[in-house]
Chains A and B, each alone.
Chain A
Amino acid sequence: MFGIAMRGGVHPETKKDLTAERSIIRQLPLPKRLYLPLSQHAGIESRAQVQVGDRVLKGQLVARSGGPLSANLHAPTSGTVVAIEPIIAPHPSGLPAVAIVIESDGEDQWMTLPTLDDPLALSPDELADKVEAAGIVGMGGAIFPAAVKLRQGRRFEIKTLIINGSECEPYLTCDDRLMQERAEAIIDGARMIRHIIEAFEVIIAIEDNKPDATAALKKAAAPFGMIEVRNVPTQYPMGSAKQLIQAVTGKEVPAGGRSNDIGVLVHNVGTVYAIHEALRFGRPLISRIVTVSGGCVQSPHNVEALIGTPVRDIIQACGGLNATPARLLMGGPMMGQIIPSIDSPVIKGCTGVLALTRQEVNEHVPSPCIRCSRCVDACPMGLVPLEMAKHAKVDDFDNAQQYGLRDCILCGSCAYVCPSHIPLVQFFEYAKGELKERRNSEHKQEYTKRLTEQRNERIEREKAAKLAAKKAKKKKPSRQSEAAASEPAATAQEESAES
């Protein structure tokens, strides 16, 4: 039907049957404490707007966006702010991150929500502002602020809006369940985004292993002519924006470019749902669907969790653990990140929590590269992973970039097929990190050099000024007479200018 939809890619065992047939658990017991890290988005930390001891209502703004790529943060339930302190972040480093800790009062009392007009009657800019106020970020895991993307979409001429419901990561079914259970809301959100960016067409792309979700969305989209629901082949990493665009439109995003450049904008179904909630009901982003799965979870399910709920609580809601997990992941098994503690909170970009058994992790001792080039065939970006890793290994980052490090999306397809089990993605993460560090140090060097030059100039100026003042002091009497002589002349000039 599509011919070659994607370059490379792999077909890992999907393992979605663990949760795909079970409906979302909506009523989780209210957690005692919620932990809201101030950095749950792409840009810099947001700034806390509450103080310890403040009482907050559900949906109330607790931290304001700190910059252009930052996002607002809202209280997921009513209660008291008991601390603003570092907690262990849901991040592989295990480093602390500052978080607002809210102790819930059990009442779950909403703030007064505004009564809203029909969002489709408002201007696109007003709607984008509302999306920004609601603190919505890319819910597929990219955590890029949705409003920024919408505004970019307004600056470019967008022909196609793609709603990404492909969900290619194994285990994860949060988007699948969301599409099945809340299809109307997603269609409504898609219409609003279309209205904001004034797109010509809307295509909802779903991998062909989700017939129920496809049927539900087709049914919901039927009354509106402009929304097309389309199946794409099941292939990892179909959910990556660049790959999906290619599969749907046949166009390729240029290296170093953005999807805007070819007139396409991609939003995840989770983001679309959040936008619907914000524009239709005025509810900010305070909860999300999380897939809780893996061999160690007693009863894998999707849950609707408040942002800030400790991972321990949502696993408990799924029957708890039946064994000590060999690995605890946030996100999918291909691109998800190891989390250091089961007490880390759910954040906006958390698509899933996986507690995997040793068998599922299937770890091997790496052996040397045999240059079989299977990674080259698997790379969906058309790069040469074996050469990139070879150069990263000896810290030759310039050459690693030559082989395409910059375009690497860290999807892990190469590492998945590697018969030598080389941790290729870790090599690329390392190289990307080192390059970033190098760029930062270069910036700092330029900055401090400029500061030193400015300081030296200032000191020279001050010296000169002092010298001049000294001279002026010595010549004071003569200067005074000079000034007296020149003053009337000046006033005369001013007068003439005025007249």
Chain B
Amino acid sequence: MFVATLVLTALGLLLGWLLGLAARVFAVEENPIVNEVEALLPGTQCGQCGFPGCSAAAEAMVEGNAAVNCCPPGGRALTESLAELLNIDLNSLGDAPVPQLATIDETLCTGCTKCYKACPTDAIVGATRQIHAVISKACTGCSKCKDVCPEDCISLNPEPLTLNTWHWTKPEAA
């Protein structure tokens, strides 16, 4: 009885120590800057950057595998704050992808409800066998709706210029 208790206690202590040791030796190093980057990202997990979600994109950006301007919904403002955080020269970046907006072709939509169930930002309104519509204010252009649409009636296009969004371009000279 006494021996058994002793053996089990010793075993427990030994295994516990081993576990502790393993936690130290094989510790997964978490870069605090990754968390900071992730906090800046939109967090809608849209995947337009080519990574499965915002945290994967954040990791890739910190490791230098992804450009800081790869996030279309974030736009220029995000690019600038990320470049400052990661100390990247803005001029070294190529052209950023243009933000996209989804539109539903009303002549083809059958009202199947698949797209609005897939939308991560609830940007599509509709009901069964009613034509669906996209609220452009909430659309991040992630194309998840397009992927599930059985009628192939959703298209993604850059946001059209209107009198409200147009502004003078930068003068070329001087």
8 contacts between A and B (CB under 8 A): A89-B163, A368-B174, A422-B171, A433-B168, A437-B167, A448-B123, A449-B43, A453-B43
**With A451-B121, A452-B121 in contact, do A445 and B167 touch (Cβ < 8 Å)?**
no
Q: Decide yes or no: A455 and B121 within 8 Å by CB, A95-B161, A420-B174, A437-B76 being known contacts.
A: yes
- The reply to whether the CB of A324 lies closer than 8 angstroms to some CB of chain B is no
Interface centre among A395, A432, A454 (most CB of B within 10 A): A395
Measured CB to CB, the residues of A under 8 A from B are 39, 89, 91-93, 95, 97, 365-369, 392-393, 395, 420, 422-423, 426-427, 429-430, 432-434, 436-442, 444-445, 447-449, 451-455
Note all chain B residues with C-beta closer than 8 A to A97. Answer: 163
Return the CB mask of B128-146 against A: 1 if under 8 Å, else 0: 0000000001101000000
CB-defined contacts of A440 to chain B, threshold 8 Å? 165
Once the chains bind, are B121 and A448 in contact (CB under 8 Å)? yes
Instruction: Give the residues from 109 to 136 in chain B that come closer than 8 angstroms, CB to CB, to chain A.
Output: 120-123
How distant is the Cα of A92 from the Cα of B77 in the complex, in angstroms? 26
- Quick one: which of B37-73 are within 8 Å of A by CB? 42-45, 73
How many angstroms from the CA of A39 to the CA of B164 in the assembled complex?
10
A432 to B162, CA, bound (A): 16
Decide if B75 is an interface residue (CB 8 Å cutoff): yes
Nearest 7 pairs between A and B by C-beta?
A433-B167, A441-B75, A366-B174, A429-B168, A366-B173, A451-B121, A93-B166
Residues B77 and A95 in contact, CB atoms below 8 Å apart: no
A450: nearest chain-B partner, CB-CB: B121
The complex places the Cα of A422 from the Cα of B90 at a distance, in Å, of 25
The answer to whether residues A447 and B138 also contact, given A434-B76, A438-B75, A442-B77 and a CB cut-off of 8 A, is: yes
* B78 contacts partner chain A, Cβ-Cβ < 8 Å: yes
Contact A451/B168 with A438-B75, A438-B77, A444-B137 known, Cβ cut-off 8 Å: no
Complex Cα spacing A366 to B170, Å: 14
How many A-B residue contacts, CB cutoff 8 Å?
Answer: 103
- Contact residues in B for A449 (Cβ distance below 8 Å): 42-44
Q: Which of B74, B120, B165, B171 contacts A455 (CB 8 A)?
A: B120
Extra pairs beyond A95-B161, A437-B167 (5, CB < 8 Å): A93-B166, A392-B170, A438-B75, A441-B74, A447-B138
CA distance A91 to B43 in the complex (A): 37
Please tell me if B92 contacts chain A, counting CB pairs below 8 Å. Answer: no
- Nearest-neighbor residue (CB-CB) of A393 within chain B: B170
The size of the chain B interface, using a CB distance under 8 A, is 31
Check B167–A423 contact: CB distance below 8 A.
no
Inter-chain CA distance A15–B171, complex, in Å, is 28
**Chain A residues near B120 (CB-CB < 8 A):** 452, 455
Q: Please give the distance in Å from B171's CB to the nearest CB on chain A.
A: 4
Task: From known contacts A95-B161, A445-B73, A445-B78, infer whether A422 and B174 are also in contact, taking CB-CB under 8 Å.
Answer: yes
Given contacts A430-B168, A432-B167, contact A95 B174 (CB under 8 A): no
- CB pair A430–B173 under 8 Å, yes or no, is no
Name the A residues within 8 Å of B5 (CB-CB): none
Which residues of A sit under 8 angstroms from B173, Cβ to Cβ?
365-366, 422-423
Residues of A within 8 A of B169 (CB): 430
Distance from A248 Cβ to chain B, minimum over Cβ atoms (Å): 32
- Closest chain A residue to B162, Cβ basis: A95
Q: Which residue of B lies closest to A369 (CB)?
A: B174
A453 vs B123: C-alpha distance when bound (angstroms): 13
B44 engages A423 (CB within 8 Å): no
The listed residue (A392, A438, A452) touching B43 by CB distance below 8 A is A452
- Structural contact, B76 and A441, CB atoms closer than 8 A: yes
Residues 20-48 of B at the A interface (beta carbon under 8 Å): 42-45
Partner of A430, one of B75, B161, B170: B170
The CA of A432 and the CA of B169, in the complex, are separated in Å by 11
Nearest CB in chain B: distance from A374 CB, A: 15
> Is A427 a contact partner of B44 (Cβ separation < 8 A)?
no
Query: Is the beta-carbon distance between B121 and A39 smaller than 8 angstroms?
Result: no
Determine how close the nearest CB of chain B comes to the CB of A312; give it in whole angstroms. 21
Q: How far is the CA of A92 from the CA of B167 in the complex (A)?
A: 9
Complex Cα distance, B170 from A429, in Å, reads: 9
Nearest to B75 among chain A residues (CB) is A441
A448 near B140 (CB under 8 angstroms)? yes
Chain A residues contacting B44 (CB-CB under 8 Å) are: 448-449, 451-452
Q: How far, in angstroms, from A163 to B152 measured CA to CA in the complex?
A: 60
**B76 lies within 8 A of A448 (CB):** no
Q: Are A447 and B43 in contact (CB under 8 A)?
A: no
Rounded to whole angstroms, the CA-CA distance of A91 and B165 in the bound complex is 13
**In the bound complex, how far is the Cα of B80 from the Cα of A439, in angstroms?**
13
Instruction: Name the interface residues of B83-101: CB closer than 8 Å to any CB of A.
Output: 90, 99
**Least Cβ–Cβ distance between B140 and chain A, in angstroms:** 5
**Which residue, of B73, B77, B137, B161, has the highest number of chain A Cβ atoms within 10 A?**
B77
A441 and B75 CA atoms in complex are apart in Å by 7
